[in-house]
Amino acid sequence: MQPEKLARFKTLLLAALQQHTEHVRDDQAAALELSDDGVKDTVDLSLMDVNKEMALRLGERESQMIADIDQALLRIEEGSYGKCARCGKLIDERRLEALPTARYDAACQAIIEAANGEDEHSTL
């Protein structure tokens, strides 16, 4: 990939990284706040636990995204960015624009998702 394009994706990834880092901080602050406040109010306690759990779970998802971004940045450093990790073909740049952390090209992604089954998509 051309250095200018790599630099552009790097900028995109760094911006996303910052955004997600802030989300995680917010989520953790929210979770802490929930556990600090309202302890005296036993009626709302169960609801509070649910909220806290949600906040923590959101944080987990954000952490996963941060890990993905980190790996994409690492691939930029290694020079393997933009190449499919499964078949080695170049990933379509429009796909990278939409999903800068993409590790596979569209064809391989479809194969992997099919192999993983449907539970990837069905949330609760």
Write out the residues near Zn ion by the rule CB under 5 A: 84, 86-87, 105, 108
* Residues forming beta bridges with residue 83, ordered by sequence position: 90
**Helix 45-78 vs helix 3-36: crossing angle, to nearest 10:** 160
CB of 89 to Zn ion, least distance (A): 5
Written as one string, the DSSP assignment of 32-59 is HHHHHTTTT-STTHHHHHHHHHHHHHHH
Would you tell me how many other CB atoms lie within 10 Å of the CB of residue 84?
19
Give me the amino acid identity at 86. R
CB of 117 to Zn ion, least distance (A): 20
CB of 78 to Zn ion, least distance (A): 18
User: Distance (Å, rounded) from C-alpha 47 to C-alpha 95?
Assistant: 40
Q: Which is nearer to Zn ion, 14 or 87 (CB)?
A: 87
Q: Which is nearer to Zn ion, 65 or 91 (CB)?
A: 91
Q: Which is nearer to Zn ion, 39 or 90 (CB)?
A: 90
CB of 92 to Zn ion, least distance (A): 11
Q: Which is nearer to Zn ion, 41 or 120 (CB)?
A: 120
